[in-house]
Amino acid sequence: MKDKYTFDGQDRLVRKANKGEIRDTSLLAYNELKESGKLGNQEAVVYNCILTNPNITDKEISIKTKININAVTGRRNGLVKKNLVKDNGKRRCSITGKLAYQWRV
């Protein structure tokens, strides 16, 4: 699924399409926050990971981004407080095998 997204020349996340690039509202919100400086570097990486991998758990985010799990949960909590990320119920994590919340934009 991450192959559907790319960064343009101005470090903005855009969706790939057959004939060019199409931005949706989630991508616009991400780009506005990134440009305004309201999204830190790790927070932007975590947001991008959730955006491109809906229904992902914290541990899966940690593995994909190579960011320590404690940093992931802190950044994800910040995104939840900013109302940018929501929990989408629980499922078994593919890494731990334990029941965990899954996240979506």
Quick check: pTM over 0.75?
A: no
Residue type, 99: L
Q: What is the pLDDT of residues 48-99, one digit of tens each?
A: 999 899 999 999 999 999 999 999 999 999 999 988 999 999 999 999 999 9
Q: What is the pLDDT of residues 23-47, one digit of tens each?
A: 467 677 777 777 887 778 899 999 9
Q: How far apart are CA 54 and CA 39, in angstroms?
A: 19
Q: How far apart are CA 7 and CA 10, in angstroms?
A: 8
DSSP 36-89: HT-S-HHHHHHHHHHHHSSSB-HHHHHHHHT--HHHHHHHHHHHHHTTS-EEEE
- Domain ranges in the chain are 2-104
Residue in the structure block whose two tokens are 């990320």: 85
Q: Structure tokens of 26?
A: 């989630």
CATH of 2-104, one of 3.40.630.30, 2.40.37.10, 1.10.10.10, 3.20.20.140: 1.10.10.10
